[in-house]
Amino acid sequence: MTQKEFLWKLAYLGIAGGVFLIDQTTKAWAIRRLRFGEDISLIPGFLNLSYAQNTGVAFSMLDDHGDAGRWGLSVVGIVAATLVIYFFWRTPRSDDRILGSLVLLLGGIAGNVTDRVRLGFVVDFIDVQLGSWHYPTFNVADMAIVCGAGLIVLDMFLSKRQQNRISDKSGADN
């Protein structure tokens, strides 16, 4: 790896750090402002800020396992972050879409693992609803994880499409 590639990768890791800091800052704000106060309605009937403590994983699944669940989910998060870092360093500098998705995943995972280790739960505060439909409350780290995973899925489809076009062209050349 050249020095220039290394510096680019460090810049990407700076983005992961930025995601982590934004996540932790917004959660600290939610704890101070929303935990003992009233909910804030940003777009009435659609977008609210409402404090919630999530001891489980996505959508509060596995939230009834106490300390074993807390530490088990923390270990899973740390292993996931380690794998993301491993793939990050193995990904070529030219693959911006994958590098971007990996740093979003890393920043989000780090934010939620930090909450789980430090507090015993993950702070959620973004509340979306539409009529009687109500989406589970989430946070900035969750958004980063979903966007990162979505970019990886998008990359898989785009890569497959590009491979099909290349194989179609080489088949037509014969």
Sheet of 122-130: strand order equals: 40-43, 47-54, 122-130, 133-134
User: From the candidates 23, 115, 124, 127, which is the catalytic residue?
Assistant: 124
Look at residues 103, 137, 82, 90 and name the one whose alpha carbon lies nearest to residue 21. Answer: 103
91 vs 101: CA distance, rounded Å: 11
- Cα 49 to Cα 11, 125, 173, distances in angstroms: 32, 5, 58
User: Is there a catalytic annotation at residue 124?
Assistant: yes
User: From the candidates 23, 142, 155, 168, which is the catalytic residue?
Assistant: 142
**Crossing angle of the two packed helices 140-173 and 96-119, in degrees rounded to 10:** 160
Residues serving a catalytic function are 124, 142
